[in-house]
A and B are shown apart, each in its own frame.
Chain A
Amino acid sequence: MQRNLFLGVEAIGQASIDAGISGVYAYPGTPSTEITEYIQHSKTASERKIHREWSANEKTALEAALGMSYAGKRSMACMKHVGLNVAADVFMNAAITGVNGGLVVTVADDPSQHSSQNEQDSRYYGKFAMIPVFEPSNQQEAYDMMYEAFEFSEKTGLPVMMRITTRLAHSRAGVVQKTTKDENQLRLPENLMQFMLLPAYGRKYYQNLLDKQDWLTELSEKSSFNAFYEGEEKSLGIVCCGIAFNYLMENYPEDDCPYPVVKIAQYPAPKEMLIRLENECDELLVIEEGYPLVEELLTDFFGKGTKVSGRLDGSLPRRGELNPDHVAKALGKEITPDWNSPDTLVGRPPSLCAGCGHQDTYKALNEVVKDAGEGRVFSDIGCYTLGALPPYSTINTCVDMGASITMAKGAADAGLSPVFAVIGDSTFTHSGITGLLDCVVEKTNINIIIVDNETVAMTGGQDSSAKGRIEKICEGVGVAPEHIRLFVPLKKNHDEIVKLMREEVAWEGVSVIIGRRECVQRLAKMKKLNKSKK
């Protein structure tokens, strides 16, 4: 059979096209970005005119995806784990409205925080919303699940969460494809008040959701993605979630695991399977990538029941992504490597690229901040967050998308003056505009520096919704035009940039200072692209 080498994210992108989606809605975020990029580059997606433009943020993305579901078509929203926090309002309520066309919310978690502020486990959101969650163990299963997920969503009338983690997202394997299904026809919901959550309706729909829960567990029980593997050795029963199953099997290369195993890839957790495992075995070991969700479910609060080990009792590390060695240790197979890295080795953290404009901005800003003293530069999420590290050490905060402006405002309200907010162009349109409005309304004394490289740089140079719009947005929100200032972050402009920043610091009010120069990576990428077109 024809196999294609797909990253996990690509398998998901292809499967969604093959399952007949009419739109993907997303904001870039590692490790989810390439799902949408894959669809953007797909010939089939282009022929079918599948919606595949970037959204301003995860909330607008998921709302639009829900709107497409309202109209009867299949749609997908993709985001990284912390993106789901942004989309949490619509996510929770979409579980109450249910869907018309199949809706899948694909969320990519980042255990070990390779490129993220935290390692929150999105399965908790799935449980919180009481919707089905799929968690594939490998690339083929990711494809197969996504291919089925839209139908499953339509069958249950609920959005489905597809939860993956960094390792599956960014690992390649051979995947066999299925035939491409037709898209759904435009079809309004049978009940035109299905998406009306006035309390009187909302109560009724919430009850419907509650009434579906036993059925969802039953479907998990019968799901071909969940499995009970027999084992002769009953001293231990093992529960594996998602890709943790691979790490277990890696420790039994001849497929000779002696213990009974429950593999969970679809939630709610398959209760009967777990009861059977508990009945058969003396103790349980739960191996899951992320927080100890299933382990907590199975662990008896008063400690009187069956012993359950995993991340909570230290058998496995409490945080970070798993690997085959962690699992080996939990199984009592201690492995000591023959070599260790020499002491001479030093770390090599990520850094701003040579020629990046953020460096020029930070050099100037450092001079200006020195006047007032350090500890007053609030920042945000993007390449420019690397300005926290030497040699710049300019910025003091990075919390969540858009928080630079609002946290600087809060600090200004508390009496800190002057304050600075450093935010990227795309982060500004993602979640910065509303914070700016707060500042304008209250005439906050704040210096907002928008480091505009005209792209979403950190995730690989996607189109930014901010491009060509920043000044007009700021004016529209109510910033005085004479305090919307522009500079070009280049070494030769250093003195001019410092002077301009100092002028705005001297002005008591809302200043927006835009440093605009295209991302050097994006520039190189575009040059290469144009060259190959010629």
Chain B
Amino acid sequence: MKTDIILAGVGGQGILSIAASLGAAALNEDFYLKQAETHGMSQRGGAVVSHLRISDKPIHSDLIPQGKADLILSVEPMESLRYLAYLSPEGSLVTNTSEYKNISNYPDLEDTFSELEKKINIVRIDADKMAREIGNPKASNMVMLGAASPFISIDEEIIIKGIETIFQTKGEKIVQLNIEAFKAGRAFAHNK
């Protein structure tokens, strides 16, 4: 078993909560895990990326080689395209459609996505909207994790246990809201 994931977003969007949930899940299962994060200057609204690797065998590199990622999981549409060189030919791209526009020259990406969808398995989901509908706008990252979960070789229950581990200090209500967000995202990807 091996899943290599590129997590992408903008500094401050909290992609690390996704990584933390999967990390906790992997640890519960006694899998090996390596997860390289972006700290420092880029966290001030710049492009950030995390390489997350989970395997039942020891993992060497902290970084995923090009063309080897099973999944690009992005919480921002343009950022999902920045790391395409890492995606394996059989890989999937799951991205939030909510744009984060902190730059003046943000491009129109509709044509780019339409072109790519002919070649790559892409799931596009308005996670922000879905999270608002559930009543927890902050849980958009868990919607994203849910939408990506069919492409991650870890059982649903185990990821949910990981989410519980990460949010338990914030109380049962927050845990449930995040699990609900995860399930909504997962249902969306399945029905696509």
Which A residues are within 8 Å of any B CB, using their own CB?
A: 3, 5, 7, 30-31, 33-34, 114-115, 167-168, 170-174, 243, 246-247, 249-250, 253, 323-325, 328, 335-342, 344-353, 383, 386, 458-460
Partner of B67, one of A337, A342, A351: A337
CB <8 Å contact, B60 and A249: yes
CB <8 Å contact, B39 and A30: yes
User: 6 pairs across A/B with beta carbons < 8 Å?
Assistant: A167-B63, A170-B36, A346-B105, A348-B10, A350-B42, A352-B45
CB <8 Å contact, A350 and B11: yes
What is the minimal beta-carbon distance from B32 to any residue of chain A, in angstroms? 7
CB <8 Å contact, A351 and B45: yes
With A325-B65, A339-B120, A348-B10 already in contact, the answer to whether A170 and B85 are too (CB < 8 A) is no
What is the minimal beta-carbon distance from A250 to any residue of chain B, in angstroms? 4
CB <8 Å contact, B84 and A246: no
CB <8 Å contact, A7 and B37: yes
CB <8 Å contact, A3 and B27: yes
CB <8 Å contact, B102 and A246: no
Partner of A338, one of B35, B59, B89: B89
CB <8 Å contact, A31 and B37: no
Q: Which residues does chain A contribute within 8 Å of B34, judged by CB atoms? A: 171-173
Q: Which residues does chain B contribute within 8 Å of A243, judged by CB atoms? A: 62
Q: Which of B106-114, B142-150, B184-192 contacts A (4 or more CB under 8 A)?
A: B106-114
Partner of B41, one of A115, A323, A328: A115
CB <8 Å contact, A353 and B44: yes
CA distance A159 to B83 in the complex (A): 42
Q: Which residues does chain A contribute within 8 Å of B62, judged by CB atoms? A: 167-168, 171, 173, 243, 246
Extra A-B contacts (17), CB below 8 Å, given A114-B38, A339-B85: A5-B27, A30-B39, A171-B35, A172-B34, A172-B35, A173-B33, A174-B27, A246-B60, A250-B65, A324-B65, A335-B66, A338-B67, A338-B87, A345-B81, A347-B103, A348-B47, A350-B43
CA distance A311 to B59 in the complex (A): 25
Q: Which residues does chain B contribute within 8 Å of A347, judged by CB atoms? A: 47, 103
With A339-B85, A341-B84, A346-B106 already in contact, the answer to whether A351 and B63 are too (CB < 8 A) is no
Q: Which residues does chain B contribute within 8 Å of A353, judged by CB atoms? A: 12, 44-45
CB <8 Å contact, A30 and B23: no
Q: Which residues does chain B contribute within 8 Å of A325, judged by CB atoms? A: 65-66
Q: Which residues does chain A contribute within 8 Å of B106, judged by CB atoms? A: 346
Q: Which residues does chain B contribute within 8 Å of A342, judged by CB atoms? A: 81, 84, 112, 115-116
CB <8 Å contact, B85 and A337: yes
CB <8 Å contact, A345 and B66: no
What is the minimal beta-carbon distance from B61 to any residue of chain A, in angstroms? 4
CB <8 Å contact, B33 and A172: yes
CB <8 Å contact, B112 and A344: yes
Q: Which residues does chain B contribute within 8 Å of A114, judged by CB atoms? A: 38, 40-42
Considering residues B23, B39, B111, B116, which has the most beta carbons from chain A within 10 angstroms of its beta carbon?
B39
CA distance A173 to B36 in the complex (A): 9
Say if the beta carbon of B88 comes within 8 Å of chain A.
yes
What is the minimal beta-carbon distance from A496 to any residue of chain B, in angstroms? 27
Say if the beta carbon of B137 comes within 8 Å of chain A.
no
What is the minimal beta-carbon distance from B110 to any residue of chain A, in angstroms? 10
Q: Which residues does chain B contribute within 8 Å of A250, judged by CB atoms? A: 60-61, 65
- Interface size class of chain B, counting residues whose CB lies under 8 Å from the partner chain: 35 or more
Say if the beta carbon of B160 comes within 8 Å of chain A.
no
Of chain A, the residue at the smallest CB distance from B30 is: A3
With A30-B40, A341-B83 already in contact, the answer to whether A335 and B67 are too (CB < 8 A) is yes
CA distance A350 to B66 in the complex (A): 25
CA distance A395 to B36 in the complex (A): 33
What is the minimal beta-carbon distance from A530 to any residue of chain B, in angstroms? 15
Partner of A341, one of B45, B85, B120: B85
CB <8 Å contact, A171 and B36: yes
Q: Which residues does chain B contribute within 8 Å of A340, judged by CB atoms? A: 84-85
Q: Which residues does chain A contribute within 8 Å of B15, judged by CB atoms? A: none
Say if the beta carbon of B128 comes within 8 Å of chain A.
no
CB <8 Å contact, A458 and B61: no
Which 7 A-B pairs give the minimum distances between C-beta atoms?
A115-B40, A30-B40, A350-B46, A250-B61, A337-B85, A171-B62, A171-B36
CB <8 Å contact, A339 and B87: yes
Partner of A247, one of B46, B61, B78, B119: B61
CB <8 Å contact, A350 and B27: no
CA distance A363 to B84 in the complex (A): 38
CB <8 Å contact, A344 and B107: yes
Q: Which residues does chain A contribute within 8 Å of B86, judged by CB atoms? A: 337
Partner of B40, one of A31, A324, A341: A31
Partner of A174, one of B32, B78, B84: B32
What is the minimal beta-carbon distance from A424 to any residue of chain B, in angstroms? 14
Considering residues B44, B78, B89, which has the most beta carbons from chain A within 10 angstroms of its beta carbon?
B44
CA distance A459 to B42 in the complex (A): 11
Partner of B46, one of A168, A324, A349: A349
CA distance A338 to B40 in the complex (A): 31
Q: Which residues does chain B contribute within 8 Å of A171, judged by CB atoms? A: 34-37, 51, 62
CB <8 Å contact, B63 and A323: yes
CA distance A322 to B89 in the complex (A): 24
CB <8 Å contact, B37 and A170: yes
Q: Which residues does chain B contribute within 8 Å of A386, judged by CB atoms? A: 44
What is the minimal beta-carbon distance from A12 to any residue of chain B, in angstroms? 15
Of chain B, the residue at the smallest CB distance from A356 is: B44
Q: Which residues does chain A contribute within 8 Å of B180, judged by CB atoms? A: none
Of chain B, the residue at the smallest CB distance from A348 is: B47
Q: Which residues does chain A contribute within 8 Å of B38, judged by CB atoms? A: 114, 170
Q: Which residues does chain A contribute within 8 Å of B78, judged by CB atoms? A: 345-346, 348
Encoded as 1 (CB less than 8 Å from any A CB) or 0, chain B from 65 to 90 comes to 11100000000001101111111110
Q: Which residues does chain B contribute within 8 Å of A253, judged by CB atoms? A: 60
CA distance A387 to B142 in the complex (A): 35
CB <8 Å contact, A351 and B44: yes
With A338-B88, A345-B107, A346-B105 already in contact, the answer to whether A172 and B37 are too (CB < 8 A) is yes
What is the minimal beta-carbon distance from B9 to any residue of chain A, in angstroms? 10
Q: Which residues does chain A contribute within 8 Å of B46, judged by CB atoms? A: 348-351
What is the minimal beta-carbon distance from A38 to any residue of chain B, in angstroms? 13
CB <8 Å contact, B39 and A174: no
CA distance A253 to B65 in the complex (A): 12
Please provide the chain B residues from 1 to 39 with a CB less than 8 Å away from any CB of chain A in the complex. Answer: 10-12, 23-24, 27, 32-39
CA distance A15 to B110 in the complex (A): 50
CB <8 Å contact, A352 and B44: yes
Partner of A31, one of B39, B45, B84: B39
What is the minimal beta-carbon distance from B88 to any residue of chain A, in angstroms? 7
Q: Which residues does chain A contribute within 8 Å of B112, judged by CB atoms? A: 342, 344
